[in-house]
Amino acid sequence: MTMSRGVIDHVPLSTILPQASTADLEAVQRASRTVDAARAGEGPLEWEWSLAHAVFPGAGPSTPVVFGADVVVDAGGGDGLEFLLQALWTEDGRLAVSAAVNVACWCETDHATHDVDAIELAVGTGTSIGQAFEAGAERLVGWLADPHDADYWRDRAALPPRWER
């Protein structure tokens, strides 16, 4: 599956979110800029989007992401810390906005990564895509102000800290 990449001004929002109102599309753009502002000095966020997922492609092995961004923090030496914000299709074909904090796993049993904090906001049940995206972006901005230290997040989730393998 091919994802296109670019800053928010290059994301064809009205094409990938054909059901969204103009006000909602503006809210998505505005919310994205608050994330850019929160990353001062690091340049605007690079988004990925898929024209093929403008409509629900059907349930499959992977989650169909309409568009999203992955803020990868350089945690050093094989460690990993990522903050994600995505508009995606749930298994039953509902649009949702997901925000998550993902860390590398240092358990005895290797799980690769863990989502240590996450919210998913369903679109359509009295919540527009603009409102859901604003809430997701607000959460992401909050996380970006927290320590960029993977062990901090693992500790919060009662996961073992990093150790030398």
Give least dist CB 114 to Zn ion, A. Answer: 5
- Alpha-carbon distance of 90 to 63, in angstroms, equals 7
> For Zn ion, which is the closer residue by CB, 31 or 116?
116
Residues that bind Zn ion (CB under 5 A): 105, 107, 111
> For Zn ion, which is the closer residue by CB, 59 or 107?
107
Give least dist CB 111 to Zn ion, A. Answer: 3
Give least dist CB 104 to Zn ion, A. Answer: 9
95 vs 63, 90, 120, 129, CA distance in Å? 11, 6, 10, 8
- Alpha-carbon distance of 103 to 157, in angstroms, equals 10
> For Zn ion, which is the closer residue by CB, 51 or 105?
105
Give least dist CB 162 to Zn ion, A. Answer: 11
* N residues, the chain: 165
> For Zn ion, which is the closer residue by CB, 92 or 108?
108
- Residue 19: CB atoms within 10 A of its CB come to 12
